[in-house]
Chains A and B, each alone.
Chain A
């Protein structure tokens, strides 16, 4: 193996072709220099020059031009306007006062007798106007008095549509065969031991008792509040209710009652566990803020005493899944800053706020019901005190 550095392929190719490249480069540079010298690249630009156009004119024209340029001669004889001839002598001003015109004196004999003095005994002086500088009392709008006007405009009545369409409509493919006897569909089950003949599901024919078109439906105003979707089944009632009267038990085949009870208990236990353990993401800050704003809209502290305005109360409330507070569950958990009477007033104001603004249900995400089933609201009137 020979000693020395090993050349890579590209370096080896460069070393082989160096002479050819130098020759080509040298020839190119020579050609460029020659063109620059011979082609006038380095010659300086010609000096600027002015072009003057000359026009030949006649002698008369020259004389006329020279005449216009000479100063005008002063005119000596100009008619001076003659001064106006003196007019008539000015009228002499008299300083005598004008004699007043003679006023026709009324005939005293014709003067009518004076009117008799009016009887003022029956006239009572007007009551002195009372000027008040009190600021005008702002009329409270009556918007929250009983609303007598509809909240939405009545919808226009659509024209009645014909009861029967002019053209026959193709019948939809029946998914259930009409039969007098209703029977479920039987499909072969691979795991079943006893083979049962497959058959179609049948059902008795259904029909409406009358044809009701859209035009004939009673006009209804648009709903003022959206119906909250119910995604969860209603949980078992928390309060103990009186057991319903025992219904007559139908004769049923003997079953293992304990197994059923166990299954029910397991199902209920699972449901309880599901309902008590919050699942899913908690309320976002925006959702909490929305609830807070909704309550404080109705928290009226205007009629609270000064001491009640120094009292902070913590109120607990249980919420229904509809977003409405359970009124009976509203309770005062704690109070600080005032006496018992003040705490009572503060709590009542807080309770009114929860009930009033929760009357239509707070805007809370129903899918997070587990997170807001129980709410503790702290009503802190520090910012609402009289400053």
Chain B
């Protein structure tokens, strides 16, 4: 009897052991829903070591704040709300003061001029609630004239350390500047910082220009010009503004050029005898290769980041749709199957998405889809949206939006790939057909 009781007790203990073990472990919960809102941050004026440097420190902080807040991912805590004052770059941070104003990130910096008059900018980023520095401090040195680029580089670092992906602030945009009435509109190439500063014109208004595209290194621009009466492709050196026409077959129209990731090859369209096909050209030798041979219109090609594939627009199915083919040509597969017309596809620098223009039910949209055509999302809708171009980090898209009517004007807009944070890009007058450069060195 006693042995029976002992066996029963042992069995009961074995049965209860897992429950006891479970109770003694940590409490486990799963968080599956959060919030999507801008992260509050503070960027006090950078500390200057002289009067001139103090003024520069204020300007630097303002450009950094403009960059970060412009993404829609961050929200600046205004200086009036600050409790602590950063008077020394080396002083310890009073985290409690910044927590009190709900700042989650803090950027501090110092500005000085070295012996040769060059600008020296140091900065640190702090995770306020964790009470620790995010990475190590960094220092940039540059000319005083290039202070905006230094500010953009600081902002890029902040963006990267907090979001985990590359920034896009130290970049430029080339576009077609427009002026005059709609029926007599003058167009010329212009280049500016991504935020509209440092505007320069690359061509005059004597001839129509279209579709500028940056080289992978950002030092050259391909564009189409009607200078000879026919559309021809030109390549322009940004630094010297020198240009030359690419050799194409006589009696043909060449347009829609775009660089391959290697920077030596250009893919473009040639229209001959009412048919338009895709060609590839080696810029160095001028040798061209035909990539498509179909009675339909093939145009608007764009390379994948690895240079192995090309996405383009074709109406071979009856309406303009998007197709992908190998970079050497060959069989193309259709990736767009939604209702409406698709055009101007551009492969994301990350390689995961393709941006496009879609016309459906009398409205134009900028959208993105996966490379296989899945997960199509329309980001914008208006009377006329077209011509998307990717930011260097593949997170933001810039495009042209034209308003309706005789007085309608084209402007540049940017939007996050989530569809949020639609903003107009400041330009001097009308602007269309933007192309975003890679990050500058």
Interface residue ranges of B15-45 to A (CB < 8 Å): 23-40
What is the CA–CA distance of A107 and B241 in the complex, to the nearest angstrom? 68
How many residues in A have their beta carbons less than 8 Å from beta carbons of B? 63
Segment with Cβ contacts to A, from B74-82, B106-114, B300-308: B74-82
Q: Are A377 and B130 in contact (CB under 8 A)?
A: no
Q: Are B27 and A372 in contact (CB under 8 A)?
A: yes
Segment with Cβ contacts to B, from A69-77, A133-141, A242-250: A133-141
Interface residue ranges of A339-387 to B (CB < 8 Å): 341-342, 344-345, 348, 350-353, 355-356, 359, 371-384, 386-387
What is the CA–CA distance of A144 and B165 in the complex, to the nearest angstrom? 27
Q: How far is the CB of A236 from chain B (nearest CB, A)?
A: 19
Q: Are A302 and B38 in contact (CB under 8 A)?
A: yes
Name the contact of A303 in the complex, choosing from B33, B130, B162, B382 (C-beta under 8 A).
Answer: B162
Given contacts A146-B81, A376-B26, contact A296 B34 (CB under 8 A): yes
Given contacts A145-B102, A302-B38, contact A380 B30 (CB under 8 A): yes
Q: Are A300 and B37 in contact (CB under 8 A)?
A: yes
Q: Are A342 and B34 in contact (CB under 8 A)?
A: no
Q: Are A144 and B102 in contact (CB under 8 A)?
A: yes
- Return the CB mask of B388-413 against A: 1 if under 8 Å, else 0: 00000001000001010000010101
Segment with Cβ contacts to B, from A28-36, A187-195, A212-220, A305-313: A305-313
Tell yes or no: B332 within 8 A of A by CB: no
What is the CA–CA distance of A359 and B411 in the complex, to the nearest angstrom? 46
What is the CA–CA distance of A376 and B29 in the complex, to the nearest angstrom? 6
Q: How far is the CB of B94 from chain A (nearest CB, A)?
A: 14
Given contacts A305-B163, A308-B164, A348-B127, contact A300 B27 (CB under 8 A): no
Q: Are A145 and B34 in contact (CB under 8 A)?
A: no
Give every chain A residue within 8 A of B411 (Cβ-Cβ): 132
What is the CA–CA distance of A288 and B99 in the complex, to the nearest angstrom? 27
Given contacts A341-B164, A352-B129, A356-B129, contact A132 B33 (CB under 8 A): no
Tell yes or no: B424 within 8 A of A by CB: yes
Give every chain A residue within 8 A of B32 (Cβ-Cβ): 296, 380-383
Tell yes or no: B417 within 8 A of A by CB: yes
Segment with Cβ contacts to B, from A78-86, A254-262, A264-272, A277-285: A277-285
Tell yes or no: A201 within 8 A of B by CB: no
Q: Are B34 and A300 in contact (CB under 8 A)?
A: yes
- Return the CB mask of B32-66 against A: 1 if under 8 Å, else 0: 11111111100000000000000000000000000
Closest to A147 in B: B100
Give every chain A residue within 8 A of B377 (Cβ-Cβ): 386-387
Tell yes or no: B316 within 8 A of A by CB: no
Q: Are A140 and B75 in contact (CB under 8 A)?
A: yes
Tell yes or no: A297 within 8 A of B by CB: yes
Q: Are B27 and A288 in contact (CB under 8 A)?
A: yes
What is the CA–CA distance of A142 and B80 in the complex, to the nearest angstrom? 12
Q: Are B131 and A292 in contact (CB under 8 A)?
A: no
Name the contact of B29 in the complex, choosing from A135, A297, A348, A377 (C-beta under 8 A).
Answer: A377
Tell yes or no: B423 within 8 A of A by CB: yes
Tell yes or no: B437 within 8 A of A by CB: no
Q: Are A371 and B23 in contact (CB under 8 A)?
A: yes
Name the contact of A301 in the complex, choosing from B26, B36, B423 (C-beta under 8 A).
Answer: B36
Give every chain A residue within 8 A of B24 (Cβ-Cβ): 276-278
Give every chain B residue within 8 A of A350 (Cβ-Cβ): 31
Q: Are B129 and A355 in contact (CB under 8 A)?
A: yes
What is the CA–CA distance of A298 and B104 in the complex, to the nearest angstrom? 11
Tell yes or no: A131 within 8 A of B by CB: yes
Q: How far is the CB of A327 from chain B (nearest CB, A)?
A: 7
Tell yes or no: B238 within 8 A of A by CB: no
Give every chain A residue within 8 A of B403 (Cβ-Cβ): 131, 133
Tell yes or no: B83 within 8 A of A by CB: yes
Tell yes or no: B7 within 8 A of A by CB: no
Closest to A291 in B: B29
What is the CA–CA distance of A377 and B164 in the complex, to the nearest angstrom? 22
What is the CA–CA distance of A297 and B130 in the complex, to the nearest angstrom? 18
Q: Are A375 and B29 in contact (CB under 8 A)?
A: yes
Tell yes or no: B120 within 8 A of A by CB: no
Tell yes or no: B199 within 8 A of A by CB: no
Q: Are B418 and A386 in contact (CB under 8 A)?
A: yes
Name the contact of A146 in the complex, choosing from B101, B127, B163, B350 (C-beta under 8 A).
Answer: B101
Name the contact of B31 in the complex, choosing from A283, A307, A344, A377 (C-beta under 8 A).
Answer: A377
Q: Identify 9 new A-B residue pairs, CB closer than 8 A, beyond the known A142-B81, A145-B101, A378-B29.
A: A145-B77, A146-B81, A299-B35, A300-B35, A300-B37, A300-B39, A303-B39, A351-B130, A378-B28
Interface residues of chain A, those whose CB is within 8 Å of chain B, are 131-135, 137, 140, 142, 144-146, 276-278, 282-283, 288, 291-292, 295-308, 316, 327, 341-342, 344-345, 348, 350-353, 355-356, 359, 371-384, 386-387
Q: Could you list some 21 contacts between A and B, CB below 8 A?
A: A140-B38, A140-B75, A142-B81, A145-B101, A146-B100, A278-B23, A291-B29, A295-B31, A299-B31, A300-B39, A301-B35, A302-B36, A303-B74, A306-B165, A327-B130, A341-B164, A348-B130, A352-B127, A352-B129, A352-B130, A372-B27
Q: Sorted from nearest, which 8 A-B pairs have the closest CB atoms?
A: A299-B34, A345-B164, A374-B26, A305-B165, A302-B36, A305-B164, A144-B102, A355-B129
Interface residues of chain B, those whose CB is within 8 Å of chain A, are 23-40, 73-75, 77-78, 81, 83, 99-102, 104, 127, 129-131, 134, 162-165, 350, 352, 375, 377, 382, 395, 401, 403, 409, 411, 413, 417-418, 422-424
